[in-house]
Amino acid sequence: MKPIEPIPAPEGRVMRAVTVGLDYVDPNAYGGWSGELPDCEFDAQFAGEMWREFGIPTKTLLTEQATIENCKQALKDSLVGRKKDDWLIVWLSGHGGQKLDAVYGDEADRLDEYVCLYDGALLDDTINDWLEKVPKGVCVLFICDTCHSGSMHRKPVIFGKRAVKDFKGQLILMSGCAESGFSMSTGQGGVWSTALHDTGPEGKTPKTWFEAAKAKVPEETQVPQYIEYGNVTSDFRYGIIIP
């Protein structure tokens, strides 16, 4: 099959980014557990600096700044003024987990996935609520380097009554592992984040960047996931991220 040619960015496209990394959490919010990690702040800072070097305005939240309220506000602010064909890049690096879905009963496996923010868990339900606010045609590139990250966006085929029924945007999730899997650390950056950093987005599309980074991750370590959500167009899937 002939490879699909990358598609140049549409004229007037606006890009924004939010990067979040936590090296520990507040023990008071997690029953005494501090969840120390060596390199998630590094991942978020590196990603933030990378996007800024490309001229993309970026909000970076690190550890104690990465509270539930601050992250919700950053995601809300990132949508202001966004329109069709604009891009938003969200990069999360930290602990992820699963807990019994006792509220909505919408999970096929009866487990909610979540990201450990500084003062508590950010459930995939909350991410789902944010997705409902994404304007029509806006492209969200969601990079998640946490454990159990393979379905952090809540795919409608899997999730029932709490799934976004009328998602107006487009989302591509590039996660470090499957929903039941684990994302590992090198001690100098997450395995998945490092692979993305090493391959870089220059001249690549979401699909080709994912494939290039995945090829650098040993299968016995973890299996990165590429998932599309919403009516993803060829202009997004094969659109050049950074010319």
Q: Is residue 79 domain-resident?
A: yes
Query: Token pair of 128, please?
Result: 């789902």
Q: Is residue 190 domain-resident?
A: yes
Listed in sequence order, the residues at least 6 apart from 133 whose beta carbon sits closer than 8 Å to its beta carbon are 76, 79
Q: Where are the alpha helices (DSSP H) in the chain?
A: 40-53, 68-78, 124-131, 191-199, 206-214, 234-237
Q: Is residue 162 domain-resident?
A: yes
DSSP state of 38: S
Neighbours of 85 (CB within 10 A): 19
Q: Is residue 92 domain-resident?
A: yes
Q: Is residue 24 domain-resident?
A: yes
Q: Which domain holds residue 136?
A: 15-237
Q: Is residue 84 domain-resident?
A: yes
Measured distance CA(38)–CA(59) in Å, rounded: 21
Helix and strand counts by DSSP (H, E) for the chain: 6, 9
Number of domains in the chain: 1
pLDDT tens sequence for the chain (243 residues): 556 789 999 999 999 999 999 999 999 998 998 988 888 999 999 999 999 999 999 999 999 999 999 999 999 999 999 999 999 999 999 887 665 554 444 444 455 667 889 999 887 777 778 888 999 999 999 998 886 444 443 333 333 344 555 689 999 999 988 765 577 777 788 899 999 999 999 999 999 999 999 999 988 888 899 999 888 999 999 999 998
CATH value at residue 112: 3.40.50.1460
